[in-house]
Amino acid sequence: MKKSMSLQFGKFRLSVIRECTFKLDGGAMFGVVPKPLWDRVSPADELNRILLACNLLLIETPNKRVLVETGMGSRWSEQDKERYEIKPLVQDDNVLAAVGLKNEDIDCVIISHMHFDHLGGATRFENGQLVPTFPRAKYYMQKGEWDFAHKANARAKASYRPDDFLPLKEHGVLEIIEGDQEVVPGIWARVTGGHTSHHQVVAFESEGNHGVYFADIIPTIAHLSPPWVMGYDHFPLTSCDAKSTWLTRAAQEDWLVVFDHEMGIPWGHVKLDAKGKFTFDPLAEDAKLFESAKRTIAK
């Protein structure tokens, strides 16, 4: 299994790093969509689970290295490893080995939301203490998401693990933002809501090339259809509308799109066909160069 893939994107270098594979319940991943429909594109195992990946996006600008998401990490009980069938593909002390970097090389980490499959790799044990996995980085997350993680209700509480995020504040590496923000030149956190109230995607632009990491508003290619939203979503109708908005723009402007949980090729382009259906055109897995028509991303 290929653990990373890279391409040039204007002045940026992009790499997808596959942090792990894991499984979640297929019914929960597709919400009200009937199983005979979703099982055709995401076959379930004997426990009704579908196979997923944690795809981290590394954006190397001329001045900064930005990591989007941290994956599941390794701090799991044997029971949870079995329940989710977690298979790590990186080492905590060198998550970026596949692209020739070290954890210390990261300047910024952007977290779409604070569920364990996105923030679980943010901290690790070192000499028996929890420390930030990327020690020189600032970790960016929305204030609304941070606040909710501390008071999540019974339905949502299991998705938030304090050991994933409290050590970040204790070590002074937490950066709380409110609303849309340009984190570094050419890279924006943009709030969508839907999956959680303050879920954010990451948009990026260099020399007229632009793209988006959808995070959990569109976790896999099988979720392209706007009504196919997860049962995990806190606000499914908002997710549906956000998907329509972002997919339409991505198709019209030929954006590079990146999927956080796709097991196949995780990036490419979306198209809108004559029937109004969104389709996906993946990049070749060995793609080394991506060039798109020059566009101007909205500031």
47-82 pLDDT, tens per residue? Answer: 999 999 999 999 999 999 999 999 999 999 999 999
The CATH number that applies at residue 77 is 3.60.15.10
Enter the tokens of residue 233: 């979503």
Is the pLDDT at 292 greater than 50? The verdict is no
* Overall domain count for the chain: 1
Beta strand pairing status for 200-206 and 108-110?
Answer: unpaired
**Residue range(s) defining the domain that contains residue 26:** 4-282
Strand order of the sheet with strand 278-282?
Answer: 181-184, 187-191, 200-206, 209-213, 256-258, 267-272, 278-282
Q: Does some domain include residue 289?
A: no
Q: CB 147: neighbour CB atoms within 10 A? A: 13
What is the Cα–Cα distance from 23 to 43, expressed in whole angstroms?
Answer: 11
pLDDT digits (tens, 9 = 90+) for 100-119: 999 999 999 999 999 999 99
Is the pLDDT at 297 greater than 90? The verdict is no
pLDDT digits (tens, 9 = 90+) for 200-235: 999 999 999 999 999 999 999 999 999 999 999 999
pLDDT digits (tens, 9 = 90+) for 152-178: 999 999 999 999 999 999 999 999 999
Residue 104 · residue 55 · CB < 8 Å = no
Q: CB 169: neighbour CB atoms within 10 A? A: 12
Quote the mean pLDDT of the chain. Answer: 93
Check the CA dihedral 224-227-233-234 and report its sign. Answer: positive
Q: Does some domain include residue 72?
A: yes
What is the Cα–Cα distance from 112 to 217, expressed in whole angstroms?
Answer: 10
Whole-number pLDDT of residue 2? 66
In percent, how much of the chain has pLDDT > 70? 94
Q: Does some domain include residue 293?
A: no
Is the pLDDT at 83 greater than 80? The verdict is yes
Residue 21 · residue 51 · CB < 8 Å = yes
Nearest to 239 by CA among 30, 36, 39: 30
Whole-number pLDDT of residue 3? 72
What is the Cα–Cα distance from 131 to 171, expressed in whole angstroms?
Answer: 7
Whole-number pLDDT of residue 294? 26
Q: Does some domain include residue 291?
A: no
pTM of the model: 0.93
Q: Does some domain include residue 298?
A: no
What's the mean pLDDT in 6-14?
96
Q: Does some domain include residue 264?
A: yes
Q: CB 190: neighbour CB atoms within 10 A? A: 15
Which residues contact residue 182 at a Cβ distance below 8 angstroms, ignoring those fewer than 6 apart? 188
